[in-house]
Amino acid sequence: MRHLTAPLTEADVLSMHAGEHVLLSGTVYTARDAAHLRMMECIAQGKPLPFDLEGQVIYYAGPTPTPEGKPVGSIGPTTSTRMDASTPTLLAHGLRGMIGKGQRSENVMRAMQEHPAVYFAAVGGAAALMAACVTSCEVIAWDDLGPESVKRLTLQELPLVVAADAYGKDAFTLGQAEYLNTIK
């Protein structure tokens, strides 16, 4: 198991390979569909984003209401393909990592090679476990979006799998090929 700290450097990204297991700590930002639309509007209008994308990781999640005494409610990943239209632009602006579930489009995979980035898969259905890895949560933009507002999270050893790397490899395809080889 490999330990990483966000934000990520290009060297961090280039050292990771599809299928590798990691524990991610450090600062990441949440953003889902509505926040991605607003970020794209900001970029199109030449306005600043709520945070500098350089080296950052976006977690495709919208936490549930925060229970008393906890930094965040349950915080599981959402399906990443819903952000695929925005992702190449965000990668071109410095985004280095994404956390979600499911495969990515060919456009995203190409953009991750052009602008070295990594896509981490989080386990769907384990939102309460994920919440235990969040030590702080602060809304930093677009509070009107409720659970889809942009939040700054501090993570402590969030378990993830490198689902797609900067070399165009993805764990979904690799895992399927490995399985098919075992049943021949």
3-state helix/strand/coil string of 89-114: HHHHCCCCEEEEECCCCHHHHHHHHH
Which regions in the chain score pLDDT beneath 70?
Answer: 175-184
Those residues with Cβ within 8 angstroms of residue 129's Cβ, 6 or more apart along the chain or in another chain: 123, 159
CATH code for the structural domain at 2-182: 3.20.130.10
**pTM reported for the whole predicted model:** 0.93
pLDDT tens digit sequence for 8-54: 999 999 999 999 999 999 999 999 999 999 999 999 999 999 999 99
Say whether 3 is catalytic. no
pLDDT at position 175, please?
Answer: 60
pLDDT at position 176, please?
Answer: 56
Write down the catalytic residue from 17, 21, 36, 93.
Answer: 36
pLDDT at position 53, please?
Answer: 98
Give, for 135, the enclosing helix (H) or strand (E): strand 134-141
Backbone angles phi, psi at 31, to 5 degrees: -165, 130
